[in-house]
Amino acid sequence: MAIQHILFPTDFSDPSAHAGRYAAALARAAGARVTILNVMLPPYPPGDLAPGEALEVTRKLAQEEEARVHRAIAALTEAGDFRGLPVRERVKTGLVEDGVLQALGEDPADLVVLDRDIDAPDAGPIGDTKVLATMIGGALVFEAPALEA
């Protein structure tokens, strides 16, 4: 299985940073490019604003959050584990599982490195994922039978 593109969704948490180290190491080993994805929840303004004012505050909060996310991704690519790798950054707004699926639809990946167990009872819609391969510590421990065309 040749890995040319890795999708790494991140929320910048400690578990996500740990998964990111694996994504970067795998990308280096495979000579793959990486897409670092963050999916932001839509911001909600304080409830005591007038409707017109709430819309403007929401826009400003979204712009500030997106700028913060771009700075965090830049920190990963400029001085972090992803330094020197071909990296594309994506920022989406909405539910995480929707953002991941949307990113995969726009630019399919050979591997998605997650920091969560998709088999956990609280995995949500991402738990419907069909696992094609599982790697632990960089070693392939499961590969689904070849898909028929």
Q: What is the pLDDT of residue 95?
A: 86
What's the rounded mean pLDDT across residues 58-67?
90
pLDDT over threshold 90, residue 138: no
The structure tokens listed for 97 are 């599982």
Q: What is the pLDDT of residue 135?
A: 66
Answer with the residue of higher pLDDT: 70 or 120. 70
Establish how many alpha carbons lie within 13 A of residue 105's alpha carbon, considering only the half-sphere containing its beta carbon.
6
Q: Give the three-state DSSP class for 140.
A: strand
Establish how many alpha carbons lie within 13 A of residue 41's alpha carbon, considering only the half-sphere containing its beta carbon.
4
Which of 95, 77, 94 is CA-nearest to residue 86? Answer: 77
Class of domain 5-143: alpha beta
C-alpha to C-alpha distance for 147 and 149, rounded to whole angstroms:
6
Instruction: Show me where the domains of the chain are located.
Output: 5-143
pLDDT band at 97 (very low <50, low <70, confident <90, very high): confident
pLDDT over threshold 50, residue 148: no
Q: Element (H or E) spanning 37, and its range?
A: strand 33-40
